[in-house]
Structure 1
Amino acid sequence: MKSAWNRLFNIQKKEQHKVFYDNTDDAFNKQLLVQTLESNIHKIKEALGRSGDLIIRQFNMGEPFHQKVATIYINGLTDKKLMGNFIIEKLINKASVLEHEKPWSPVELGQYILDGILSTTHVEEVTELNKLFSFLLSGQTIVIVDGLAQAYACASQGGELRSITEPIAEPSVRGPKDSFTESLITNTAMVRRRIKSPNLWLETRKLGKITQTEIGIMYLNGIVNDKILEEVRKRIDRIEVDEVIGSNTIEEWISDDNLTPWPTVFLTERPDVVTGNLLEGRVAIFVDGTPIPLIVPATWNQFLQTAEDYYLRWSVAGFLRFLRIVSFLITLLGPSLFIAFVSFHPELIPTPLLINLAAQRQGIPFPIIVEALLMELTFEVLREAGVRMPRPVGQAVSIVGALVLGEAAVMAGIVSSAMVIVVAATAIASFTLPHFSLTDASRLLRFFMMILASTFGLYGIGLGVIILVAHTVSLRSFGIPYLAPFAPFIITDQEDAILRLPKPFLSKRPRLISQNRTNRTATKKNKKTKRDPNAT
């Protein structure tokens, strides 16, 4: 009896699933529009479930006003001012003065509307329902004439959109103050303002059988590596999913290795960073509805660089890059080294400091690894709480929580003061890493290194570093070695690796990234000559 009920339940579930997808397919099939206006409107209403935000306006045109015309749009996706001034108002005004030697035929009226009435920036003829829904759901206004088996899609995208604001995750002192928004058109235009070249090409696609999310592949023709570009196209074309909500979906589909903790796709919210990477020969992937595009291929060294490096003097930028590398090592190995020295190699610690550490650990009930894990997990909880709570409250929770809990834990004899200092220093060092994807990877790997240190001491840390380096060397990002230009070592790329040389010396693009046009400065004979000291 139970199995019979289960079979019946599964059959009903499959039928519901089938009906849902059948309805979805009916909404986006390749049926053609018919000549009857009422039939076309009925199909559109039924496909969209008679949604409340579907607005249909009908009126009559032509002498003697015997032709019906309808405008259709989605409320909230359309610029109502643009649509009212350049579509509906012109159609209504022309209806009263439209003259002709004989009654207008649907073909004549449709052609007149296309050529003499619609004044939007772009109008496209549509004959298939799937294309009509694609234009309609992207914010365009549809104009349909009774008796004509086609419609006109008028550019009128708009609605309430977030304005351009300052970058949040990648602030800059001297650099530009604009960041990407959720609008694909706005984001690509921000890049075009910086690269005024006809070689800046943009390919658009729609992903997601249900969401129909528009994406853009942007690159510089003549500079981009053609093999990398073709690989990007292949990986994106292989994506077959129902929904593409944001760029993270595409990131996980096109990444070379989803099991590695290292990020193999670069993320940024700054248009100038995208511009710089495009000029180096990389490919940018924009996703409509997401303010953070993807940049491929990505290398490990790229995550330690910031836009500010190219707005400061080269000496300051080089010092800051070196400081970030040191901070990364502290973030990854700080607690592990403390555990290894205290537990396995106390002879390496100066005697006065060792005596102080031993005195602090008197009465601590936990082993040092448990103490370290307890403090690290507590800090991670505070960090997550600060991110999820409202911004004014989150900052207070993070600061007050860390101070109160740290002091209380020391006073209660749960942890030592030295452990609180080590964990706090590690946390501060992690804040210097410029990209959150690298910070998240180092946070995860820190626990792995702590376990090895508590088991084998410095030998465990050495083993962990060897495994980590070997794994990192084996990674590829769209065919490019992840540790380039260090492994393989490319001497010409060292001018913008750990240190940044002055701009006149940055004469080459990354060798493995761009292979079509490697020089980005003039040849020696075209360079500026030395100034004559006797010249006025």
Structure 2
Amino acid sequence: MFNKVYKRLRAAQAEANTQPANQLKLSSEISELSKTIEELFEGSDDFIVRPLLIGKKRKAALYYVEGLVDSKKVEQVSRTLMAMKEEELLELEDKETDFVALLQEQYLALEGSHTFQSFDEAIPQLLAGESLLIIDGLPSLIIIASKKAKGRSVEEPQSEVVIRGPRDGFTENIQTNIVLIRQRVRDVSFKVQTTSLGLRSKRKVAILYLKDLVTQNVIDEVTYRIASIETDDIAETGVLEQFIEDNVLSPFPQISHTERPDKTAAHLLNGQVVILVDGTPFSLVAPITFHQLFKSPEDYYDRWLIGSLIRFLRYVAAFFTVFLPSIYIAIVSFHQGMVPTTLALSIAGSREGVPFPIFAEAMLMEATFELLREAGNRLPRPIGQTVGIVGGIIIGDAAVRAGIVSPIMVIVVALTAISSFTFPSYNVAITFRILRFAVMIAAALFGLYGIVISYILINIHLVGLRSFGSYYLSPYAPFNSKDWLDLVIRAPVSLLKMRTKEPKTKERQTQP
């Protein structure tokens, strides 16, 4: 399905805007083929040409990019071809079957070797690390599997801390990532469809799903959106996400990303589609719902009471992250009568001598903590943690001593910052941090009324949001009582017998 849609969309473009490589025709003369290939790579010093003689008479040439190929495999292929005898070569040519196929089968027994009839198909393989073989008299381009195995080994995820569960994480090699998922989902309905994206980079992209769970509409929609992308390069899954998400203006992520294979496998078993891009250790998951962004695999690895408590704390932390500074601003500025007299006097006393209004004070502290957080992320990890912790303590204490901010404001901002670290997904924390500033402005202008209006507008936006056709706010809206067993509170595993209603799946039952 993926390849059919992809080729159909590319056909029209190929007719209207044909690239130079497409216009090149294959010749059986090795001199013409060599000239064409060498012209394509003229000026590239790492492009290697190795002339060969097969059977002491037949001219051939092997092309590869230095550094991308495994030198041992290249030497093996060269020795094998040059060691062929004239009789063996003539015997292959006399057979009625395809000469190239026999050559690959009997002499170039390397998994992944292919024959192409156009430069447009063969050149990307050459640039990906394979070797290109041409033989005099054969109008075919033989791609020999010689790519060097590269990349770091499987390690613990860097962006998602594992408290309990598997310690392996994705790498930058897409094939390794597919293997990590296959080790967890050993089902014949597990399908992998691959293609390349990027008009210049030709980066490998894979769509993974369980055929007997995912609805055909979701597969078609994901396939169509990816196949419709026309850009020079898809450098990372974040770029792909921006191309295929439903609402590019929404601050809320409509596609989840993760570095954990166990979490990715859980999404597959939930009837969702996973997208992998070569060169990045992150996978994309679609469609998703809002409540899935609050879930972590540890919620299910621990007993239900522990998982429920931790998940409930995340929802409380989400409320603090977005609304705590704005509630403090509204109460101090407009609604002093809502707090007990002793607390009101304590707040007034702590603000004595502070030269800024409460809104400016809050914005100053929030901006300072955001700067410290960003600096901690960009610096080397040991130094970054030190800057984040020590810098926050020193600046907060100095600001209070200088009378620039009140001690209670430091407490409110610190509690807000700590709450924003509790989310399993980094992009969700970013979203809530953005909304915090918008709600603070509304609170400074209209008090608690502004906070209520902001809350209503956020919910209106969430209700209208979709992720590949799925209701983003389900099971809150539309309401589904059965899905509440695995929402704010996680019920015991023995009671979780059905998949959630959104995203839609072909089979909802998980426990017979």
TM-score w.r.t. length of structure 1: 0.88
Aligned-partner Cα distance in 1 for 2:397–2:146: 59
1:471 aligns with 2:465: no
Preserved contact between residue 280 and residue 514 of structure 1 (Cα < 8 Å): no
Aligned-partner Cα distance in 2 for 1:148–1:29: 19
1:72 aligns with 2:39: no
> 1:199 aligned to 180, 189, 192, which one?
189
Aligned-partner Cα distance in 2 for 1:417–1:49: 67
- Which residue in the other structure is 1:534 paired with? none
What amino acid maps onto 2:71 in structure 1?
K
Q: Identity over the aligned pairs, expressed in percent? A: 39
- Which residue in the other structure is 2:245 paired with? 255
Aligned-partner Cα distance in 2 for 1:128–1:504: 56
| Structure 1 residue 226, shift from structure 2 partner | 1.4
What amino acid maps onto 1:386 in structure 2?
G
1:331 aligns with 2:331: no
- Which residue in the other structure is 1:387 paired with? 377
| Structure 1 residue 181, shift from structure 2 partner | 1.1
Aligned-partner Cα distance in 1 for 2:94–2:319: 73
- Which residue in the other structure is 1:135 paired with? 125
Residues 216-255 of structure 1, C-alpha deviations (whole Å, 9 max, x = no match):
1111011002111111112112211222211122211111
- Which residue in the other structure is 1:14 paired with? none
- Which residue in the other structure is 1:38 paired with? 31
Preserved contact between residue 59 and residue 69 of structure 1 (Cα < 8 Å): yes
Aligned-partner Cα distance in 1 for 2:176–2:90: 46
| Structure 1 residue 78, shift from structure 2 partner | 2.3
Aligned-partner Cα distance in 2 for 1:135–1:30: 18
> 2:235 aligned to 231, 234, 245, which one?
245
Residues 393-441 of structure 1, C-alpha deviations (whole Å, 9 max, x = no match):
2222212211111111111111111111110110011111111110000
Residues 14-413 of structure 1 aligned to structure 2 (within 5 Å): 25-26=19-20, 28-62=21-55, 65-85=56-76, 87-92=77-82, 94-95=83-84, 97=85, 99-100=87-88, 110=100, 112-413=102-403
Preserved contact between residue 45 and residue 51 of structure 1 (Cα < 8 Å): no
Preserved contact between residue 167 and residue 178 of structure 1 (Cα < 8 Å): yes
| Structure 1 residue 75, shift from structure 2 partner | 2.3
Query: How many residues align structurally?
Result: 495
Provide closer, same or farther for how the CA distance between residues 30 and 106 of structure 1 changes in structure 2, counting only shifts above 3 A.
Answer: farther
Aligned CA-pair RMSD: 2.1
What amino acid maps onto 1:80 in structure 2?
S
Residues 151-199 of structure 1, C-alpha deviations (whole Å, 9 max, x = no match):
2112232243122110112122221111111111111111111111111
What amino acid maps onto 1:463 in structure 2?
I
Preserved contact between residue 73 and residue 141 of structure 1 (Cα < 8 Å): yes
Preserved contact between residue 215 and residue 505 of structure 2 (Cα < 8 Å): yes
Aligned-partner Cα distance in 2 for 1:182–1:374: 39
Preserved contact between residue 277 and residue 295 of structure 1 (Cα < 8 Å): yes
Preserved contact between residue 360 and residue 416 of structure 1 (Cα < 8 Å): yes
| Structure 1 residue 292, shift from structure 2 partner | 0.8
| Structure 1 residue 122, shift from structure 2 partner | 2.4
Preserved contact between residue 288 and residue 503 of structure 2 (Cα < 8 Å): no
- Which residue in the other structure is 2:470 paired with? 480
Tell me whether 385-394 or 299-308 shows the greater mean CA deviation: 385-394
Residues 372-399 of structure 1, C-alpha deviations (whole Å, 9 max, x = no match):
0000011111111111112222222212
Aligned-partner Cα distance in 1 for 2:452–2:121: 59
Residues 46-77 of structure 1, C-alpha deviations (whole Å, 9 max, x = no match):
22333122222222111xx1112222222232
Aligned-partner Cα distance in 2 for 1:23–1:40: 24
| Structure 1 residue 45, shift from structure 2 partner | 2.4
What amino acid maps onto 2:411 in structure 1?
I
> Aligned to 1:216, what secondary structure does the other structure show?
strand
Aligned-partner Cα distance in 1 for 2:470–2:504: 11
TM-score w.r.t. length of structure 2: 0.92
- Which residue in the other structure is 2:9 paired with? none
What amino acid maps onto 1:58 in structure 2?
P
Aligned-partner Cα distance in 2 for 1:48–1:109: 28
Provide closer, same or farther for how the CA distance between residues 157 and 493 of structure 1 changes in structure 2, counting only shifts above 3 A.
Answer: farther
Q: Structure 1: which 5+ residue stretches go unaligned? A: 1-21, 523-536
Aligned-partner Cα distance in 1 for 2:245–2:108: 45
Provide closer, same or farther for how the CA distance between residues 106 and 288 of structure 1 changes in structure 2, counting only shifts above 3 A.
Answer: farther
What amino acid maps onto 2:22 in structure 1?
N
What amino acid maps onto 1:481 in structure 2?
Y
Provide closer, same or farther for how the CA distance between residues 36 and 106 of structure 1 changes in structure 2, counting only shifts above 3 A.
Answer: farther
What amino acid maps onto 2:330 in structure 1?
A
Tell me whether 489-498 or 413-422 shows the greater mean CA deviation: 489-498
- Which residue in the other structure is 1:502 paired with? 492
Aligned-partner Cα distance in 1 for 2:103–2:211: 38
Aligned-partner Cα distance in 2 for 1:468–1:290: 32
> Aligned to 1:356, what secondary structure does the other structure show?
helix
| Structure 1 residue 39, shift from structure 2 partner | 2.4
| Structure 1 residue 105, shift from structure 2 partner | 5.6
| Structure 1 residue 24, shift from structure 2 partner | 9.7
Q: Structure 2: which 5+ residue stretches go unaligned? A: 1-15
Provide closer, same or farther for how the CA distance between residues 35 and 261 of structure 1 changes in structure 2, counting only shifts above 3 A.
Answer: same
| Structure 1 residue 111, shift from structure 2 partner | 5.3
Aligned-partner Cα distance in 2 for 1:492–1:54: 61
Residues 375-454 of structure 1 aligned to structure 2 (within 5 Å): 375-454=365-444
| Structure 1 residue 359, shift from structure 2 partner | 1.2
> Aligned to 2:275, what secondary structure does the other structure show?
strand
> Aligned to 1:215, what secondary structure does the other structure show?
strand
